[in-house]
Amino acid sequence: MNFEKVMFAFFIVLALTLNFGFFIGDIDNPEHHDGLELAAALAVSLIATILKFGDRSQMGAVLLATSLVADLQLLIAAGIWTWAANVSEPGISAEIISRIVSLSGGALLANLVSVTLLIAETISIRR
């Protein structure tokens, strides 16, 4: 068993599950979406991206691209959350949380593509 591959898969799946946990709930209800869960999803997604830099295969390039998409969307979502909570006069409104959750949904889709590709690559490996 290759420990590097285990850690790689662990962080990809963890990024997906954390993002899903944040995404689930009423899209416009701030009580259903925790900022710390968004921060955790972003941190784990960034770790997963860093782990993908060593792979020089075509599949590695696609996995890196999907991870970068997820990172970008989660970074923008976290930026909007920070701006709304600390700068904006009305704070985190239903409209703002809808934007944040929508961006998280895009990142969730990118994470799903990563996990699907990882599973496909694992199944295609012949011993």
pLDDT in tens, 86-100: 998 888 889 999 999
What do you get for the CA distance between the two ends of the chain, in Å?
A: 13
Distance, CA of 119 to CA of 66 (rounded, Å): 15
Tell me: pLDDT of 81 over 70. yes
**Whole-prediction pTM:** 0.90
Which amino acid appears at position 9 of this protein?
A
Distance, CA of 38 to CA of 85 (rounded, Å): 14
Res 127: pLDDT: 56
pLDDT in tens, 31-60: 899 999 999 999 999 999 998 887 788 888
Which ranges constitute the DSSP H helices of 24-57?
35-52
Q: Where are the domains of the chain?
A: 3-124
Residue with tokens 């420990």: 3
Q: What is the largest CA-CA distance in the chain?
A: 60
